[in-house]
């Protein structure tokens, strides 16, 4: 976990390089000090070829603020039917740039540009295996 207390444009460039090198094609800078913190705040770079599986959190909310790039956020009903797709872009794009995902909401995202940089905030602590992945999941 790389912890950053302040970020500049140079740090975002470093984040893109780290994500590009990562086999999962994503990387993050955490603002919180540890996985035990009650608020988990991070900047995440995700490249287009990274697959984000459909999942939900039964005990926490997430918010996404899109800093760079474009993505589509997909929301699903409890029985796996696509209920909404939200096209997201930078503030200047005129698209949705912020979205709040509620507790228990099935969701995933697809990066539509080369990469996207997201500021994500969620409740802590971080627990490995906390996300529930949809057994009915399919690739969007």
Residue 139 lies in a domain: no
pLDDT recorded at residue 1: 63
Quote the pTM value: 0.89
Residue 17 lies in a domain: yes
Distance CA 16, CA 80 (A): 32
Residue 140 lies in a domain: no
- What domain count does the chain have? 1
Residue 10 lies in a domain: yes
Q: Which domain holds residue 42?
A: 2-133
CA dihedral angle for residue 62, residue 3, residue 25, residue 122, rounded to 10 degrees = -10
Mean pLDDT of 52-68: 93
Share of the chain above pLDDT 90, in %: 70
Q: Which CATH number goes with the domain that contains 25?
A: 2.60.120.10
Mean pLDDT of 82-93: 96
pLDDT recorded at residue 126: 83
Residue 138 lies in a domain: no
Residue 90 lies in a domain: yes
Q: Is the pLDDT of residue 7 over 90?
A: no
Residue 96 lies in a domain: yes
């Amino acid at each position: 976990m790389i912890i950053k207390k302040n970020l500049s444009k140079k740090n975002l460039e470093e984040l893109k390089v780290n994500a590009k090198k990562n086999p999962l094609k994503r990387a993050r800078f955490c603002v919180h000090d540890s996985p035990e913190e009650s608020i988990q705040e991070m900047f995440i770079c995700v490249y287009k070829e990274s697959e984000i599986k459909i999942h939900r959190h039964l005990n926490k909310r997430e918010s996404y603020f899109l800093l760079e790039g474009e993505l589509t956020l997909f929301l699903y009903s409890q029985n796996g039917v696509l209920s909404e797709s939200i096209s997201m872009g930078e503030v200047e794009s005129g698209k949705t740039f912020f979205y709040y995902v509620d507790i228990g909401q099935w969701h995933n995202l697809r990066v539509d540009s080369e990469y996207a940089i997201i500021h994500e905030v969620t409740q802590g602590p971080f627990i490995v295996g906390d996300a529930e992945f949809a057994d009915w999941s399919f690739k969007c």
